[in-house]
Amino acid sequence: MSTDATAAEPATSGADEPAGRGEPHEYDAHTDHKPDIYYIKIAFALAFITGLEVAISYAEIGAFFLPALLILMAIKFISVVSVFMHLKFDNRIFSWCFYTGLILALGVYIAALATFQFWS
């Protein structure tokens, strides 16, 4: 009986080895990335919307206060998830999960405000 360690190792064809640095992976379906300035513009737009939310919180706009903040929050959520998390390139089930979470969060927030009689 041989004690040679190489005889006990199974031969591999190389198919299950990870791809090298320059080779695309099968899960890397999106190859057309936007330039960096695109993401910088989105970041500035998100910062502007955040400033607008802060300004609205100090302004007296009456009944439009909560709907305005909820709409701006939803715009920021959709922007971050689709652009920075690349959700638009992923499977639709991930989009469904994220947007269901958004709707659930809005529902819980509105229900909590209704419980505390925010609109009275």
Question: Mean pLDDT for each 10-residue chunk of the chain (120 residues)?
Answer: 53 50 55 84 96 93 86 91 81 87 90 80
pLDDT at 76: 94
pLDDT at 108: 92
C-alpha distances in Å from residue 77, one per residue of 54, 66, 81, 106, 109:
16, 16, 6, 12, 15
pTM higher than 0.85: no
d(CA 50, CA 44): 10
pLDDT at 43: 94
